Structure formats: C-alpha cells, structure tokens
Structure 1
Amino acid sequence: MHQATTHQDGLTGSRLYLGIIAISLATALGMLGSVTANVALPTIAKTLHTSPSNSVWIVNAYQLSILMALLPLSSLGDRVGYARIYTWGLAIFTCSSLMCAMSRSLDELIVARVLQGFGAAGITSVNTALIKTIYPSRLLGQGVGVSASVVSISTAAGPTIAAAILSVAPWPWLFAINVPLGIIAFLVSFKALPRPPISKAPYDYGSALLNAATFGLLVLGVDRLGHSNGISASAVLQLLASAICAWLLVRRERGRTHPLLPVDLLLKPAFLLAVLTSICSFTAQMLAFVSLPFMLQDALGRSAMATGALITPWPLAIVIVAPLAGTLSNRYEAGLLGGVGLAILALGLALLALMPAHPTSFDIGWRMAVCGVGFGLFQTPNNRAILAAAPAGRTGNASGMIGTSRTLGQTLGALLTALILMVAPDHAGPVALTTGAIFAGAAAALSLTRICRRGA
C-alpha cells in the first residue's frame, strides 16, 4: 500500500516509483520522437516522393511546435499543475503518433508532426519542475540524474531502434510503436502524479501569443529566406514581424514577478552566455544529425540499419561521459568544461567532414564517438550553470529556458541543413558538418568567455 503525497516533500512509497516510471516513459517517448525521425528521413522522402530538403520539415514541424509552446505551457503548469500539462501532453502525443503512422502524404505527416510536437512540448515543458515535485528533497539529485540518464539512453538507442524497425517494417511503424507505450505512460501518469487544485491566478495569454508568434515567425522567415532566390519580401516581413513581437514580449515581461520569458535572468551575463552556448551547440548537433543519414545512405550507400549503427557511437559516448562531466562540474567551472567539450565537438565534426571518399565503418564510428565525448562533456555542466544562475523559486523559468535553447538550436540546425540540401545537394554532408564545426567553435568561445568575465 502506498503512502499519500506529502505536499512539502514529494511522494513516498509505491506512488513515488510509479511517478518515476511515468516520467521516464514519457521522457523517452519525447526524445525518440525526434531522434528516430532523423534516421528515417531518406526512406520517408523516397516513399512519399519528395525532395530531401522538403522532407526535413518532418523534423522542423516537430521542433517548431515545441519551440512555440514550451514556455507558455511551462507557465501554464504553474497555474493548473504540472501533472495536468504532462498527462494532456502525453494524450496529444499518443493520438498524433497514430496520425503520423496513418499519413499517406508529406502534408498529412507534417500536420501530424506539428500536433505531436505540441504533445512533446507538454511533456518537456514541465519535466524538471515535475521531478522536483515528486522526489523528496533528499533524493532530488538522484531524480535529476535518473532523468538525464533516460534522455541519454533514449538518444543513444534511437538510431538503432529506428534502423531495426526500418529493416523489418515500413516507416509508419516508427510512429505506431509510440501508441501502446503512450497509453501505458498516460495511465500510469494519471494514477501516480499529484494534481493540486487549480490556481485562480490569471494566465498571461498575451505573452503566450507573443512568444508563439516570435519563434514561429522567426523559423518560418528563416526557412522562406533559405528557399528564395535572393532576398524575399515575404521572408523579410516575417523576420521583421518576429522582431516586433520579440520587442513587445520583452517590454511586457520586464519587471514581472513571474514572467513567462525570464528577461531579468537573461540580463545576467552568466545565464545569457550559458543559454547562447546551448543554442549554438544544439545547432551544431542538429546539422550533423539531420545531414548524416543522407550522407551515409545516399552518398556512401549504407543501409538504414547500418546508418543507425554508425550514428550510435555519438549518443553512446554521451551516456558514458555525462556522469563524469557531472562529477567534474563539482570541481571545475562550467565555462571551462563546456569550452573544452565544445572544442572537442568542433574537432569531431571537422574530422567527419574531412573523411576519405570511401571510409570504413571504423573511420566513421570513432569520429562519431569523438563528437559524443565533446557534447557529453559540455551538456550537464552547462544545464547545471543555467539552473544555478536562477534564484530560488525560479526553477521553472530556468527549466523552460533549457528546453527553449535546446529546441531553438535544433530547429535552426534543421533549417540550415534543409538549405544546404537544396543549394549543394552533391556535397550536403561535408558542408553541413563543416557548418556544424563552425557553430561548435563559436559555442566553445562563448563558454570560455564565462571564465574571462569571472576572472575580470
């Protein structure tokens, strides 16, 4: 028999373990929703008779809806309870996964992926806050570690799972497999997670709409600019509208006690530099993750199964290095660890770009592992620095910015890859990897700047 919730200090007994299972399942589903689609892009593009650059919108649509909804849902969670946002997110994710599996055209799949992204945003936006709610304070560090491990393992397993499914079944099964798992996660979440009374505090719908418009117009404007011959008037108008919405949002949020966008935290150099470092690093990672399946399958003639296996050393290295990075962050500054890690990532991406014309599996695999070591060394200390820079009571804001910076970087990386696939289809892999190395180098410089500022 499980004990009831203690409002002051998390869950106890069997309900705590059920809560851990619920959060872990949902987190894994959200991560796999992104990773598995990357590996399948060449296969889906051929099946749906679309171009590689257009097929990247299968990734973009998912990332874009997460980006637009993440901060508004994080703020709404403070009002209606994190578990309600979480379970609704799971329900939407599960239903839209079925829609993805049933799609018979690129347009249908993109619409379904938009809905799936909104569901993933519901899961991601309140994940950290929910962990803090269910774990007793003495076990909070363990809870954060469990969640980080689930993310790493899901990312590591994603390419292999996708490749294994594609080797025995058509691509719709990549999405259909989410349905039974999503139902199980929903039922466990509904039973285990605490649902406090809904707060009567007003919700800031104006800021939520401005946030969605800022990020949505930014991504659409960048995409339109990339697909235009020269500078498109519509692209310029979208980017200008995004800038106006961002200005209005910042002006609206400044001085608020509980802002949707933490402008006051972004004015702190340590917080801002950690966020910018995260954006650049995830842009670099996504440039590689989206371009590599096309490079390995179309240019080098590897099968989907082999592609998944060859990409796996990257996330697997993250799984191994991330705990070490967490331990090192107790002794060394996040700026130093991040700078070193991102420099290693830049080196690994450059090595991938400069591979011989006919590389062996070993040639590819060890370069992937170098990238994973660099990224793993950076990620945990940087996220810890973002959380540490937020004062007490602002964990939700910091958690939201971790997710937003990650998703914005991933979205920009996917957009840049689509542009490269369109303008340089014969050399897309090396060009995208070189661009990723440049972004990783910029992220390393930003990270090391934190040490210089502290020293000054």
Structure 2
Amino acid sequence: MSVAADTDRNPWLALFALVVGFFMILLDMTIVAVANPAILEAFHADISQVIWVTSAYLLTYAVPLLVTGRLGDRFGPKNVYLVGLLVFTAASLGCGLSGTIGQLILWRAVQGIGAALMTPQTMAVITRTFPPDKRGAAMGLWGGVAGLATLVGPILGGVLVDWRGWEWIFFVNVPVGIIAFGLALWLVPALPTHLHKYDVPGILLSGAGMFLLVFGIQEGNNYDWDGRIRLMIGAGLILLAAFVWNQKRNTGEPLLPMTLFRDRNFGLSNLAIAAMGAAVTAMMVPSYFYLQAVRELSPTRSALVFAPMAIITGICAPLIGKLSDKLPPRLIPTFGFTLFALSILSFSALMKPHTALVWYLIAAGFAGLANACIWAPLATTATHNLPVYQAGAGAGVYNTTRQVGSVLGSAAISALISARVAAHGLGSGKIAEGGAGQGPIPEPVKEAFSAALSQSMLLPAAILLVGVLASALFVSHGRSAPDGHTDAPAKPGMLGD
C-alpha cells in the first residue's frame, strides 16, 4: 500500500519540513510585540485596539486546539497541517495589506485559526513516526524551535519594523509559508487515520468555556476586572468543569480522553508546560518596558539583549533532547526550571536605571540554557507513553495547556505591573502589551519605575516553582502508566511504535 510505503520515509526529513511552519506560527506570537507603537501610529488607533492585534491571534489560537488535535487523527496530520498552513499564509498576506485596524484584527484572528490547525500535528507526527526511545532527539529539535521562535520573534520584529515598516512582519510569512507547504507536501508521510465520532457536546462546552475564559482574562485589565469580566471568567470555568464532567461520563469517544491523565508524567507535563508558557510571557512584558522605556533602547537593540537566550536555546536544545533519552525524565527539566527561575531573579536584581547591560546579556545566556533544558524534555516526557491513535488528542491537550498558561501569564503580569506602578506613586494607567513607551521617562521617575518593574519580575520566577515541583515528581517511563506498560498497543490498522 502507498500508505505503508509513505511511513517508511526518513522521519527526520518529515520533522524538518514541519518545524519550518511551526517556527513561523510561534514567531507570530511574539513578533508583534515590538511593532505595536508603529501599528498604533499608522492607524491612529488607541491602545486597546492595538492590544487586540495580539489578543485576536492568541484567542483564536487557543480556543480550537483540543478539536484541531483530534482532526489530525481523523483526517491525517499531514492534511490538516497543510490546510492550516494555507490559511495562515493567506491571512499573513491579508494582515500586511490591511487598510484599517479592524481589518488587521480580523486577519490576525484568521491567522490564529490556521496556527491552531497546524500546531498539534507537529507533535502528533513525531509521536507516530519516532519510537519512544528515539523521541527525545526529535523533541529536542521541536523544543528548540519552540523556544527559539518565542525568543527570536521580538528580535526579528524589531529589525523588520526599523528597516521596512510594520507590514513586513506579516509579509515575511508569505514566502516562508510557500516553502513550508512545498516541503510538507513532499516530505511528510500520509499516516493512517482513525475514524472518530464527533463529540458535539464536548466541542461546544470546551469551545464556549475556553472562549469565555480566555476572552475574560485578555480583556480584564481593560475593564478594571469589573463584574462583567468576573462573570465571564466564572462562566468559562463552569463550562470547562461541565466539559470535564461530560468527558468522564462519555462512554463513546470523548474529545478529551481522560485516560490520558492516568499516565502520571503526561498530567505533570501539562502542569509544567502551563507554568513555562505563563512565565515566558510574563517575563517579556516588564523586560521590554525596562529596556525601551528606562534604558531608551530602540526596538531592535532592546530585542538583541535577548539574543544570547535565543542562540543558546537553539544550539543546546537538540543536544539536550538527545541526552534526555538516556537520563531519568525528572533530572533535566527540574534543573532547567530551577535555572530559569534563578535567571529571572537575576533580571529582577539588575533592573536599575544604570546597570551595565553586559550583566543582562550574561543572565540571558543562562536563561537560554534553562529553556533548552525545558522545552524538549517536557514534550518528550508528555508524549512518551501515548498510544499512536491518541497522538493528536494528546498533542492538542498539551498545546492547549501551554497556550492557556501564556494567556494567564500575560493577564497576571499586566495587572501586577499596573499595581506596582501605582504603589510607587506613578499613576495606575493600564499597561499596553509589548512594553512600548510613549517617550523618554524623566530621570527622577526612572528609579521608581525600575523598582516597580523589578518587583513585577518576581511573578514569573514564582510561577516557575510550579514547574520545578511538577518535573521533580516525574517517574521513570516504565512506571508512569498505572498498568505498568510504557506504551498502549496500537489499534488494528494503526501505525505501531
């Protein structure tokens, strides 16, 4: 059969093809941050409208992930990935050609849908084409790309905005998307599919619950966390609780197989990746406020301060991912979370108006090593025991958890910065995403503003302690599943490990 022949392809070539598109969609989570001032000026928009350029993408990316992971199981991860890539690339062109802020927000929402279709398929292909004892190196490449994209986004965004204008942070996706489509069409195998029943109640409950929760968190600061926002968040939590209850009672084929969480390491990995998503998002906001507003660096120069973090993550992640195959699963991520927390504490201590930036570069280097110890080993541990017919569902859950963690981190750090700025007598104005200043800060104010930002950095450091605890509780792969088996058998007709 052609499918059988397809699965005999070199899985590394397929992974290379997939990470090109994966890098692009993760890049767009952070690349807009340094472009916010240029977008605000170009459209004569207000801060809340500019925030929605990021929020729309974040919202439509997070909400569908559980469903899109399952679509890969049903229609094949290659097919769903290619559809998502087409949607994302076309939406990128639409973003760059937008003539109003409303059009830009709309196209960013479409971009998020494309990204949601693509993301779970990358992990699913790794799970279904690499045997468990070889996934560490594959996840090392995947994790390196995930960490690198998150960190490179602001650097590339700053260069493009300073060079050609804000439109080019979107136009650059078009040729990359075309190349990624050709590579995936050529190199990614057409894996066997599994006929799924559509869990309509689960889809409706999870979609509505995620939308209300994410929308409420994203908009909380704009409405001073008033009764409407609290009601929206509460309703979202209630619907998600009803979703979990429904999934437990579903004797057919639930959208979220609760059996996934019988694997101890899968459950703990989800907790740890939520902490990682929250911490990375939370640390970037005060960092860019400090570098651009206090130190008066340009978008490009402020982003380059994090270059050591990006470079070291990219170099070390594949090596550490391969090493993680040979070590107990708790060792590397526990070290990584601890080092990352210490790095952020160092950032906090260095946030003074006249600290030499070389110390910030050194701390960023240690943070890069920490990131390399987290992204890949966590993904490897999460997927190690997944049966292949649940690869899409497991990848969808894992990526949803990471994305929700990012949303929570973004909302929490914005609220905390506002509170600390007010506590230092600097006013309680809302803090815009991206850390863009509206002009130089008077010298007498810099000390107080630096102190407020420094105190805010303690939040992501504290969040990382959740990751330290979760990863420290990992057990060896042979003891993770309650039945003592490291891998559930594949269903008839499925590609086995």
Cα distance in 2 for residues equivalent to 1:313 and 1:56: 28
Structure 2 regions of 5+ residues with no counterpart?
422-430, 432-448, 481-497
1:237 alignment partner, one of 208, 231, 240: 231
Asked if 1:12 is matched to 2:12, the reply is no
Indicate conservation of the 8 Å contact 2:196/2:253, yes or no: no
SS where residue 171 of structure 1 aligns? Answer: coil
Aligned amino acid, residue 176 of structure 1: F
Cα distance in 1 for residues equivalent to 2:12 and 2:261: 36
Indicate conservation of the 8 Å contact 1:67/1:408, yes or no: yes
Deviations 1:56-104 (A, max 9, x none): 4333322221111111011112112222211110111011111221234
Equivalences for 1:126-275 in 2 at 5 Å? Answer: 126-132=121-127, 143-155=138-150, 157-195=152-190, 201-229=196-224, 232-254=226-248, 256=251, 258-275=253-270
Judged with a 3 Å threshold, the aligned counterparts in structure 2 of structure 1 residues 187 and 246 are, in CA distance, closer, same or farther, namely same
Cα distance in 1 for residues equivalent to 2:324 and 2:138: 18
Cα distance in 1 for residues equivalent to 2:102 and 2:265: 42
Structure 1 regions of 5+ residues with no counterpart?
none
1:289 alignment partner, one of 279, 284, 288: 284
Aligned amino acid, residue 336 of structure 2: G
Identical columns (%): 26
In structure 1, what is the equivalent of residue 408 of structure 2?
Answer: 412
Indicate conservation of the 8 Å contact 1:346/1:438, yes or no: yes
2:295 alignment partner, one of 291, 294, 300: 300
Deviations 1:197-231 (A, max 9, x none): 986643223322222212111112223443344x5
Indicate conservation of the 8 Å contact 2:73/2:391, yes or no: no
Q: Larger % of helix: which?
A: 1
Indicate conservation of the 8 Å contact 2:309/2:368, yes or no: yes
Deviations 1:326-380 (A, max 9, x none): 2443454333432222121111112112213223331221121222222222222
Q: CA deviation at 1:312?
A: 1.8
Cα distance in 2 for residues equivalent to 1:217 and 1:74: 21
SS where residue 215 of structure 1 aligns? Answer: helix
Aligned amino acid, residue 285 of structure 1: V
Q: CA deviation at 1:155?
A: 4.2
2:464 alignment partner, one of 432, 440, 443: 440
Equivalences for 1:282-431 in 2 at 5 Å? Answer: 282-355=277-350, 356-391=352-387, 393-420=389-416, 422-423=418-419, 424=421, 425=431, 426=449, 429-431=453-455
Indicate conservation of the 8 Å contact 1:24/1:150, yes or no: yes
Q: CA deviation at 1:143?
A: 4.6
Q: What is the aligned length?
A: 448
Cα distance in 2 for residues equivalent to 1:138 and 1:349: 33
Indicate conservation of the 8 Å contact 1:42/1:294, yes or no: no
In structure 2, what is the equivalent of residue 277 of structure 1?
Answer: 272
Q: CA deviation at 1:449?
A: 4.1
Q: CA deviation at 1:121?
A: 1.0
Deviations 1:87-127 (A, max 9, x none): 11011101111122123444332222111111111110211
TM-score, scaled to structure 1? 0.86
Indicate conservation of the 8 Å contact 1:66/1:120, yes or no: yes
Which is worse superposed, 56-65 or 342-351? 56-65
Cα distance in 1 for residues equivalent to 2:404 and 2:297: 30
Judged with a 3 Å threshold, the aligned counterparts in structure 2 of structure 1 residues 17 and 225 are, in CA distance, closer, same or farther, namely closer
Q: CA deviation at 1:276?
A: 1.0
Judged with a 3 Å threshold, the aligned counterparts in structure 2 of structure 1 residues 102 and 415 are, in CA distance, closer, same or farther, namely farther
CA RMSD across the alignment: 3.2
Indicate conservation of the 8 Å contact 2:92/2:174, yes or no: yes
Q: CA deviation at 1:153?
A: 4.6
TM-score, scaled to structure 2? 0.80
